[in-house]
Amino acid sequence: MYRVRVVKNFSSAHNLSGYEGNCENLHGHNWKVEAVLCGSNLDKVGMLIDFRVLKKTLGNVINDFDHKYLNDCLAFKTVNPTSENLAYYIFNELEKTFPKMVDKVTVWENEDSAAEYCRD
């Protein structure tokens, strides 16, 4: 099984409704998103996926969140914009372009805290 990964970053603010603690208040993060695709077949060039294509697609997904208040984004109208929900959303958006290839998405809200959503 081959795996490729790319990392992109964005900055945004959010708050967590129903959370009892500091994260209930408006605050921001410089998020880091890592996307991992996997597969057993390489193309004629010997690649699973061109890094440029994966970076561009991931960039298009997270661009909607960059320098935004996440709670106002359509993706988070009914769920809190937690790291877990961001990872889930990004995973599913990438699946639209790379069906059955997305292995996991990791969303870092700081250098020592991250959430992942993985294929079962």
Q: What are the residue numbers of the active site?
A: 23, 67, 109
Helix 51-63 vs helix 83-97: crossing angle, to nearest 10: 130
Q: How many CA atoms lie within 13 A of 89 on its CB side?
A: 21
Q: How many CA atoms lie within 13 A of 94 on its CB side?
A: 33
What radius of gyration do the chain's Cα atoms show?
15
Separation between Cα atoms, residue 12 and residue 70, nearest integer Å: 7
